[in-house]
Amino acid sequence: MIGMHTPDAEMARLASKALLYSIDRIRVDPPPLGAPRPYEELLELVGQTITPEGITGAEALRLFIEVLAPSSIAVDHPKFLSFVPGAPTEASIIFDMVVSAASIYAGSWLEGAGAVFAENQALRWIADLAEFPESAGGVFVSGGTAGNMSALIAGRYWWRERNQGHHDYTRGLIMASQGAHSSVTQAARAMDTDVLLVPADDRGRLIRSALRSTVDSMSQEDRDRLFAIVATCGTTNLGVIDDLSASADVAQELNVWFHVDGAYGAAGLCAPSIRDKYIGIERADSFIVDPHKWLFGPYDSCALIYRNVHDGPRAHTQHAEYLDVLHSEQDENEPWLEMNPADMAHHLSRRARGLPLWFSLATHGTQAYTDAMERTLKVTQQGADEIRARPYLELLLEPDLSILVFRRLGWKAADYQRWSDQQLSSGESFVVPSSWNGETVLRFCIVNPRTRRQHLVEILDSLATDNP
């Protein structure tokens, strides 16, 4: 009997079919939008797929292509404008398949030296965008939540080491804006620390006066247990950038860790037209950016960069007998070189998830990334113009990056939801209602270079009717 780990003719045929589907899916423009189906409908269409005998690869692939994939929304559709979409390059998707086929464990230099070497070149490009020093380095983790938590764990470790054991049992405190991503609060919950939220301004930003006022009102006890200030460059809902220089000043004054959450917005560092909005990020102790958002990579990938690469392993290296062979004394005057990615964050096992970005960068060059970024920013400004030109719409904020927030005059929450549901069910677009200052509004997040002005025009025109 041929076992499931033995290559055979059936698997060869299945591989050909899977590759043909993948190539067709990558190249179709635009891709099908897709829409979710209810559980009972999926159960009826798909049935039970996990059985003692198996249903054959051909049947499983058929079910995926004909039912399961169309029952999921394609994040790379040019009219997917909700949440933060994705727009992976063809090169990055192709290489994502290669990474899986290569079967590389990328947690250690010993096992994955070649893959880690390539990932590190991509990370160095990102660090250079932020004007980080040669001492910088990091790792690709699964997403912004993992990146923020790993950075804050490193920040707390640095704070406790700096205080020579005085705060080893002190419950730490993180300061962040009210506009900070929910993952900051989630990280604090997981770390059993507290979060002090600084009031945001009317655009949802952390500004110097509010930060200064919050610090001045803190008790000495809270000042002593503060270990990190978190700023955001590109808030998820509004796409605004906190005052990074003010955050850096206060962090330096209080001698605490300064982390920048740039999961969505830090990608804009490669666009010269908006580079000045990020002044201050070069003073951070750590920052993150998700390539699967606005850097045109596939899911899942978040680049976590430390100003001093050694801060990662100090906080995160796991020790066990079977891991001893992976660890040697690191000269902290030496740069990154052969450090283990598993030691950089709160993980151990990891795939080489940074390689698709590396391959795409190596294939197209960094100038192509700048051009694509500027293209999305231009379409965003065109979208703002289109909203202003329609008397039934009102632009609520001038965009900092590539997010447009606007209201449809005269509509209530139910009207927005009916319109959104109709757009998705008809395959026209995926735009869900959001909220701003307690009001239901609409929000476009434009990160896909395939999104054109005409796509926005078509969506905005559909809002003209009074009866969605």
Per-residue pLDDT tens for 225-273?
999 999 999 999 999 999 999 999 999 999 999 999 999 999 999 999 9
Omega of the bond leading into 30 within 30 degrees of 0 (cis): yes
In whole angstroms, how far apart are CA 173 and each of 250, 283, 313, 462?
15, 21, 22, 47
Query: Is the distance from CB of 305 to CB of 321 less than 8 angstroms?
Result: no
User: To 5 degrees, how large is the angle CA 460–CA 466–CA 467?
Assistant: 105
CB atoms within 10 A of CB 361: 24
d(CA 400, CA 411): 26
d(CA 163, CA 173): 15
Tell me if domain 97-364 and domain 366-461 are identical in fold.
no
> With a threshold of 0.75, does the pTM exceed it?
yes
d(CA 442, CA 429): 13
Phi, psi (degrees; rounded to nearest 5) at 344? -95, -10
Phi, psi (degrees; rounded to nearest 5) at 201? -80, -170
pLDDT of residue 118: 98
Per-residue pLDDT tens for 62-112?
999 999 999 999 999 999 999 999 999 999 999 999 999 999 999 999 999
Range of weakest confidence among 150-154, 319-323, 344-348, 399-403: 319-323
**Confidence band (pLDDT; 50, 70, 90) for 30?**
very high
Examine the pLDDT at 332 and tell me if it is beyond 70.
no
Burial of 105 (0-12, 13-18, 19+ CB in 10 A): middle
d(CA 248, CA 229): 8
Helix (H) or strand (E) holding 442: strand 439-445
| HSE value, Cβ hemisphere, 13 Å, CA-based, for 88 | 27
Per-residue pLDDT tens for 361-384?
999 999 999 999 999 999 999 999
Owner of token pair 């939220």: 197
For the chain, the C-alpha Rg in angstroms (whole number) is 24
Owner of token pair 């990056």: 401
pLDDT of residue 322: 81
d(CA 440, CA 417): 10
Look up residue 59 and give its two tokens: 């049947």
CB atoms within 10 A of CB 44: 10
**Confidence band (pLDDT; 50, 70, 90) for 326?**
confident
Q: What residue segments make up the domains of the chain, in order of their start?
A: 9-75, 97-364, 366-461
**Confidence band (pLDDT; 50, 70, 90) for 165?**
confident
In whole angstroms, how far apart are CA 426 and each of 32, 33, 421, 423?
11, 10, 9, 5
Q: In this structure, are strands 302-306 and 286-289 parallel, antiparallel, or unpaired?
A: antiparallel
Query: Is the distance from CB of 136 to CB of 127 less than 8 angstroms?
Result: yes
**Confidence band (pLDDT; 50, 70, 90) for 329?**
low
d(CA 422, CA 438): 24
DSSP state of 233: B
d(CA 167, CA 175): 17
d(CA 180, CA 200): 9
Helix (H) or strand (E) holding 173: strand 173-177
d(CA 140, CA 123): 8
d(CA 209, CA 228): 18
pLDDT of residue 194: 98
Q: Helix (H, G, I), strand (E, B), or coil: what is residue 406?
A: strand
User: How much is the average pLDDT of 21-28?
Assistant: 95
Mean pLDDT over the full length of the chain? 96
d(CA 87, CA 296): 5
Of residues 321 and 187, the one with the higher pLDDT is 187
pLDDT of residue 1: 46
In whole angstroms, how far apart are CA 440 and each of 82, 384, 446?
14, 19, 20
User: How much is the average pLDDT of 426-454?
Assistant: 97
Query: Is the distance from CB of 174 to CB of 154 less than 8 angstroms?
Result: no
Examine the pLDDT at 333 and tell me if it is beyond 80.
no
Q: Is 416 left (phi over 0), alpha (psi -120 to 50) or beta?
A: alpha
Q: What is the CATH number of domain 366-461?
A: 3.90.1150.170
d(CA 34, CA 68): 10
Look up residue 408 and give its two tokens: 């449809």
CATH architecture designation of domain 97-364: 3-Layer(aba) Sandwich (3.40)
